[in-house]
Structures are given as structure tokens and as C-alpha cells.
A and B are shown apart, each in its own frame.
Chain A
Amino acid sequence: MNTTTEAAAGGGDLAVWVRTEPKLQEKVYGRRLPNGMELFVWPKPGFTKKFAALATHYGSIDSHFYPPGSNEAVHVPDGIAHFLEHKMFEEENGSVFERFAKLGASANAYTNYNQTTYIFSCTDRFEENLRILIDFVFHPYFTDQNVEKEKGIIAQELKMYRDEPAQEVYRHLLEALYHENPVRLEIGGTVESIQKITKEDLYTCYNTFYHPSNMVLVAAGDLDPEATLDLAAQEILARRPRVQGEIRRLYPSEPKGVRESRHEETLVAAQPILYLGFKDGQVGLTGEPLLRREVATAYVLHLLLGRSSSLYNQLYEEGLINDDFGTAYIASPQYAHIIIGGETRDPKRLEQRIWEGIHAFVAQGIAPADFARVRRRWLGHSVLQFDSVEYIANRCASLHFEGVNLLDYPEIVSRVTLEEVASRLKDAFVPEQAAASIVWPQAASGRKV
């Protein structure tokens, strides 16, 4: 594919760049602000919705760090990044939701292991909404009272997730796979851990991680890119003109091997659930190497257990799996693991059959024809992702923190070779790095439907 990068015409501001992918018919404008923040605008002519995401590279795993100007590291309560996300919506004069609502926009936010993202969606008055987004994310307002009030709300949110068997089996899998890495903890913390959170903790985290140099803004929709970049730059620089010091985060080193090779528990569920997990022995990749590893792993998983694989079809026909079965690879510079599983009538037998399938696959290797066919699938799918402004903005932000421009994604996918996939297959499934998490159903109390 041809990619061209040039200074945007007309504006005369060399800080604004534009890149195009003619074959993909996509274009992205960007600008790096003097305070270190990156801005992206994806013009999507013909789209009605206008969407923006303002994200900070700060998630649930960042609970041990040096506050700015301090030489003493602090350890904040688990779940604080998510708690902070909730509290950002509160202001002196009420809720941020109301400011967006007046303009007919809908706002929301989400926190994951690595980042906190604030989003809004509108069809009209984008500029005013963008001003509100920037204004509220750069304006913390925490009081003892509003922090206390939030505890009941978040406790309900955490309880809701814990009533989902699939979430529970995943949570226990991560607890089994990892000794130390904070990815083993719930993103939102626990009902107990959030009780300890104070407004002072929230300000400490805010002042440490909500730095422009640690943040990114992405807008997508039928927008004037240069005007949008100008407006965003002006609003952000008015609030945070300077570069702030480097963020020093502390992550525990993760030993090789798993903490426990299996975890079993009983709860209200339709039938047993098995998740097998495989922890990567080595992490620390960023940028294109990380993305290529993600894609190569996805190939491995699809060739091993996708709908077109013989193993998937055998397991299905043997009555061991159903529509719930799936695979995933979750990777970041700090942790990475494969998950395989779903509902099953016989978790022990399924576990055994998956291992047999893995050994056979590793022995047999990957046929070039299978690789070529799955590659076509990838090429198609990497294009379709550009049909949604939400997807573009959210994915552009998360890939930016990994060191990749979303526009390069289809091209990077197409560069992944059979050799890369074959070599990934060899190190993907190490027994010492594997764990199983099983949920057994409690005597069902649900009625027949």
C-alpha cells in the first residue's frame, strides 16, 4: 500500500501532519502539542455521528508509582483508576452528563488495565462538546462527600460483574496465571478495597497520570480536521501549557511459571465453564513488534481452534463445546496471555482434548495453504474496522499507547509471515506457563424458560 505523509496544505502550521492510505481510502490528521500531547483527527465524510475520545495512559495496573516531585513511591488502593474515572464526571455545579445532555450528546468513560478513556458522541455542535470534554477531564473536583457517595454506586457495579460466571472464571484464571503482576487484580478493585479510597488519593493519581504528555485525543467524523486540531490545541494549551516531568511507575517483576495450575469454584451457572490460560514467558514489546506478535498469535489460535479448524469441529461434534467457545490473546508491554475456553459439559475432558490438539498441531506445523486462506480473512477484517467512528477513535487511542498508528494496522497485518506464525506456535503453549480455571454450577435455582 502507498502511504504518504505530508504537512497539511493551507494551514501553514508545520506541526500539523496528514497521512493517507489511498487503497483503504482513509486519512488521518495529527498534531503534537508543545506540552507533549498527541492529537488525531479522522475525517469520515458522509458519517452523521461525530465522536471523540480523550484518553490517559493510566489503568488499573498503575497503582504503584512516584507522585510528581516526590522521591517516595506510593501504593494506592486497588480500583482507584476506575474510581477516579467515575469521579471526573462530578463538578462544583453538578454532573458533566448534564452539560453534554443540554447539547444532545451522550458521554461515557471506561477504564481497563492500561488506560482510562473519556468519550462523547454527538451529531451536532461538535465544537461545544469537544470543549466540555477537554474542560472536564482537565478539571478534577473531589470532595469527601462526593467520594463517599460514589462507593455505593461502584459497589453495585462490582457486584454486577461478579454475578457473571464468565467474568469470575476469567478473574480466577488471571489470579492463577500471575504471581505478582497487577493484571491479576480486578480493574474496579473490590467492594473492600474501594472503601479505603480518599479524595487525597484521587488527587495524587490525577496529578501523576493526567499529564498531556501521557494523554491522547482522537476525533472521528465528518469534521474539518485542521479546525478541530486548532480548537483542541487551543483548549488544551490554555489549561496545560507545559511539559510535566516523566512518570515513574513501578511494576513488580513477574516470576516464570504460574501461581497455581488450576482453580475451581462453584457458583450459579448454567453448566461448567473452562478457561485455559497461557502466560507469555517474555513481555516488554511495544510498537510494531508487539502488534505483529498479537496478529501472529491470533493466526495460531484461529488455525488451531477457529471454525475452520478440524479440532474445533471435532470438539463441537463430540459435544464438548458450544457457541460460547472462543479464544483470545491479550497483550500489552507489561503482560500477555492466551485464553481458550467456554461452557462445556465436561471441563476435564475438554482440557485434555485441547492439549492433545495443541500437541498434534505443534508436531504437524502450519500448511501454507491454510495460512494463505486465513490471511485473506485477516485482510478483509482489518478493512471493515474502519466503518465505525467509535471503533476508529477508541482503537487509535489504544494503539497510540502501544506505539502504533491505526492507519498502519492493515499494512502491518499483511506483513505478518508464515514463518512468524510458525515460530509463535512453538512458544505459545508451554505447560509450565499454563493454568486452568473452572466454574462448576451450583444446583440450578433458575426456572425453566
Chain B
Amino acid sequence: MEASTFVTRPLAEGVTLYVRPTRQFKKVTVRLFFHHPLGEDAGLTALVPRVLLRGSRLHPTTADLARYREELYGLGLDAEIGKIGRDQLVEWELTGVHPQFVGAGQELLRQQLGLLAEVITDPLWQDGTSTSGQLSFRADYVDQEKRVLQDLIASLINDKRSYAMVRLYQEMFAGDPFSIYRYGSAEGIEPVTPHQLAEQYQRLLQESPLTIFVVGDVDPVQIEEQLRELWAQLLHDRPGHLPAGGWMPSPHPVRRTHEPQPTRQALLYLGYSTGGITYASDAYPALTMYSAILGGFPHSKLFLQVREKASLAYFAWTRLESTMGAMVATCGINAQDEERALDIIQHQVEAMARGDFTEEEWSATLEGLITGLRSAYDSPNSLIDRVLMGVVNGRQRPIEEMIAALQRVTKDQVVEVAQKVQLDTIYFLGEREAQG
């Protein structure tokens, strides 16, 4: 186990490369993030990588690109839109087999890196537009991707738990950019033109802070040289990244929203404010202990009380939205058990504020958190996500440092956190019986 996880290299202003050379994996993972502030243009931004993935100048159709990726031993090349706090992230991901395991030469890695650069920086422009001075993507690709992105937004309702989480945050953070869905809205996407999209693409390419990760059996010096050569068009100075989290709700009575839907299982989602404690706060390790004792594990209070004792639910847990400073507690129940479940959860939250937890709960939670943190060493993506959280929050918390910090947390500190935690919003999805 290596304690320091990444070699860090600034490649330009606002462009940082993190490399983890390791023989542990047979794959090489490359991820590249463009940071963009969440806003009204979320849908426009989300369309950019989708259109780029349809074809480049050298591989102008999706089938051409897919065939070339197959030649490169099934190279994974994809883009996704992420959201951390008020950052919208345009993420590019490359997963390729290391040449030695398929009897290929070192040029395979070069081809893999080169393809990502090609897709991002050498796109397929609409014929003729470059001479008129108005750059534009191919109109058919743009129309098709608008439709598919709209489908993707609409399909959130198919996953009731994700839908409920998004809806809770919309209620809880109404008016805050954090409430914007990572893909934007169907209405926001509808009027987008190929030219507007080209402009947004160029803005991202020129102005967005970039964070780059490479994990695998690579030499950091060589990788830097290769990127400087192959990704030259990306490695220019840009504005640096600004922290994108934090939230302090103004005092208000608990909001309660019921969304009727004919589901078999009703979903109860409770949103809490952490009283301003975020990933960057000194109290974050204590907040982590707090949330985990309450609902992080199968030995935690919510699982034992809501599921094992009351038999009301299959799942019952808490999760931190640590960039914003919020916590969600949730369970899936029969609609008529809403008040009972709410009551049990609130009792457990009150118990936490009284410091009502045992030595056994404490040590099992601490051990479980440490296992979870260290397990990340076996997953390139988990390691990368952790550093990325640090970038967005303006404070890195390396695994071993976080473990040491958790070990130093005292019971009093957890109670102090518990007393700051405030119920903010209750969201209920399901068919509630007619009320009063």
C-alpha cells in the first residue's frame, strides 16, 4: 500500500496532472475533467461531449470511432456529466488494456491517449461553416443528441430513488445553482443551435479549469512528455478552480413536500443541513462519524431500528452531501407507514444529539469507515474521485490523513456536530391516503 497516492504536476495555469504509477492494474485509466460552474447553461454544456463523441475529423461517424476503439483492444472512451457541489463536470474517461497483456507495443498507449485528444480537440465541423467564420457542429448530430439527452433527463423517473434524491435537492436548494440537474432541463436543451453549441465547446476548451488523472503502469515523466505533445491544444493557461460548495439555509420551518405517484413502494427522503460543516471544514471527520453511526452501515441506528426492529423497510440509510453541507436520511416503505418511519428516524437523530451511542457502535463505525477508505486503493476511479473532491472543495484529504483524523475524533465532537444538524426538508414520493 502506497501512502501518498498521486504524483502531482502543474502543466499550465489551471491545468493539473495527477499520476499514480502502479503495477497493480492491467488497465490504464485516464480521466480528464473540465470544471464549469453549474448554471442555466447546464443542458448546453451537457450536450458538448455527446456531440464530440459522435465523430471527429479523422473518424467522422460513431461507427468509425467504435471500430477504431475495437482495434485498440476494446478501448473504453466515454464522456459523462458529473456534479460536485456547484461544479458541473464534463468528464472524459479512457480505459485501455496495458499493452503487455495483449502482446502489443508501447505505441498502444500513445494511440489511446491520441484518440482522446483527437475527439476533444479535432472535432467534425459542419461543412463550409469554417470559411464563413461561424463554426458549427453537424446539425443532424446535434438534433439527435438533443433528443437522446432529453430522453436521459426524462428517464430519471424510471429510477425512483435517484428521482427522489434529485427532487429533494430541488426543494431543499430552490434558487441555488446546486438544485440544477446535472444534464440541465429538457426545455433548456430544446432551443440549442449547432452554432451555440460550438461556442460553448470553445468556451470550455479555452476557459475551464482542467484536472487530469492517469493511473496504471506508466512512468510519470514519460506520461507528462506524451501529454505535452499529444494534448498540446489543451495545456494552455486558464483561470484556476474556485471552491464550489458551502450552504447555510436561512432559518425557516421544516418544508414538507408530497409528490403523489402510484408506486408500490413509497420513498421518504429527509434533508438536513449540517450547519455549515462541509468537506473542507475541520469538523468534517466528526460529521463523517456522525452520519455513519446514524445510517452508514447495516449495524447503524437506522438499519437496526427502521428495518430490523420495525420491519418497515428493506433499505434505510444516511448519506452526506459533503460539498454543500447537507445530509440525507432515507427509507423505502409502505405509504401508510410514513409517520411511523419519520418518527423512528427523528428519534434516532435526537439520540445522536444526546450522545446516545455505545462504544460498540463507535468502534464498528470507525473500523467500517477505515475499511471503506482503504478499499479505494484497489479502484483507480475511487482514488481519482477522492482527489477530485479535494480539488472542488479546495482541501485535499488523502486516505491515510483522513483515517488519522477519524481516529482523533472524540465523542464530544460528534455530539457538537449532532447539535448543529437541522432537519430542513421532508420529501415523500408515493400514493398517500387522502388527508384531512
- Interface residues of chain A, those whose CB is within 8 Å of chain B, are 23-25, 46-49, 95, 97-98, 101-107, 121-124, 149-154, 156-157, 159-160, 162-166, 268-271, 306-310, 312-313, 316-317, 319, 322-324, 343, 373-374, 376-381, 383-384, 386-389, 442, 444-449
Contact = CB atoms under 8 A, between A and B. Distances in A.
Given A104-B364, A319-B144, A160 B74 contact: no
B70 A377 contact: yes
A252 B160 CA distance: 36
B264 A159 contact: yes
18 contacts: A25-B101, A97-B297, A101-B367, A101-B368, A106-B298, A107-B298, A163-B265, A164-B159, A269-B158, A270-B154, A307-B62, A307-B63, A312-B63, A317-B140, A317-B144, A323-B151, A384-B26, A445-B262
Given A24-B101, A377-B70, A449 B170 contact: yes
Contact of A152 (B74, B261, B298, B311): B311
Interface in B388-436: none
B175 to A, nearest CB: 16
Nearest to B155: A270
Contact of B147 (A312, A319, A324): A319
B378 A388 contact: yes
Contacts of A98: 299, 364
B156 A105 contact: no
A149 B262 contact: no
Contacts of A97: 297-299
B157 A389 contact: no
B25 interface: yes
B233 interface: no
A390 to B, nearest CB: 9
B70 A308 contact: yes
A343 B151 contact: yes
Interface residues of B, number: 81
Nearest to B300: A101
A376 B25 contact: no
B297 A106 contact: yes
Nearest to B266: A159
Given A162-B264, A384-B97, A444-B157, A322 B371 contact: no
Nearest to B181: A449
Contacts of A310: 63
A97 to B, nearest CB: 4
A271 B155 contact: yes
B345 interface: no
A30 to B, nearest CB: 22
A103 B158 contact: no
Given A101-B368, A104-B370, A269-B158, A156 B265 contact: yes
A161 to B, nearest CB: 9
B35 interface: no
B377 interface: yes
A156 B313 contact: yes
B113 interface: no
Given A123-B375, A313-B62, A163 B263 contact: yes
B166 interface: yes
Given A104-B367, A160-B332, A387-B25, A380 B298 contact: no
A373 B151 contact: no
B93 to A, nearest CB: 14
A159 B67 CA distance: 41
Contacts of B264: 159-160, 162-163
Contacts of A381: 74, 97
Contact of B375 (A48, A157, A306): A48
B205 interface: no
Interface in B25-57: 25-27
Interface string B363-382: 11011101110110111000
A103 B370 CA distance: 11
B73 A316 contact: no
A106 B364 CA distance: 10
A444 B163 CA distance: 13
B111 interface: no
Given A164-B159, A270-B158, A308-B63, A124 B101 contact: no
Contacts of A160: 264-265, 314-315, 332
B308 interface: yes
Interface in B246-297: 259-265, 297
A271 B154 contact: yes
A387 B26 contact: yes
B371 A122 contact: yes
Contact of B102 (A103, A151, A380, A442): A380
Given A121-B375, A160-B332, A383 B311 contact: no
Contact of A153 (B26, B152, B186, B307): B307
A150 B307 CA distance: 9
Nearest to B371: A104
A166 B259 CA distance: 22
A101 B70 contact: no
B360 interface: yes
A109 B185 CA distance: 38
A268 B261 contact: yes
A309 B63 contact: yes
B193 interface: no
Contacts of A269: 157-158
B3 to A, nearest CB: 12
Given A101-B297, A104-B370, A379-B73, A386 B259 contact: no
B152 A323 contact: yes
B260 A47 contact: no
Residue in B307, B311, B372 with the greatest tally of chain A CB atoms within 10 Å: B311
B177 to A, nearest CB: 15
B157 A270 contact: yes
B107 interface: no
Contacts of B163: 446, 449
User: Which 10 residue pairs of A and B lie closest in terms of their CB atoms, listed nearest first?
Assistant: A104-B367, A380-B73, A377-B74, A152-B311, A308-B66, A159-B264, A380-B74, A446-B157, A101-B364, A307-B66
Contacts of A162: 264-265
A52 to B, nearest CB: 14
A159 B160 CA distance: 12
A121 B69 CA distance: 34
A316 B144 contact: yes
B192 interface: no
Contact of A448 (B97, B158, B186, B315): B186
B187 A448 contact: yes
A447 B63 contact: no
A102 B167 contact: no
Contact of B262 (A122, A151, A268): A268
A163 B159 CA distance: 8
A446 B155 CA distance: 10
A386 B102 CA distance: 14
A102 B312 contact: no
A43 to B, nearest CB: 13
Given A48-B1, A159-B264, A380-B73, A271 B151 contact: yes
Contacts of B159: 164
Nearest to B377: A48
A273 B247 CA distance: 40
Given A48-B375, A378-B74, A102 B364 contact: yes
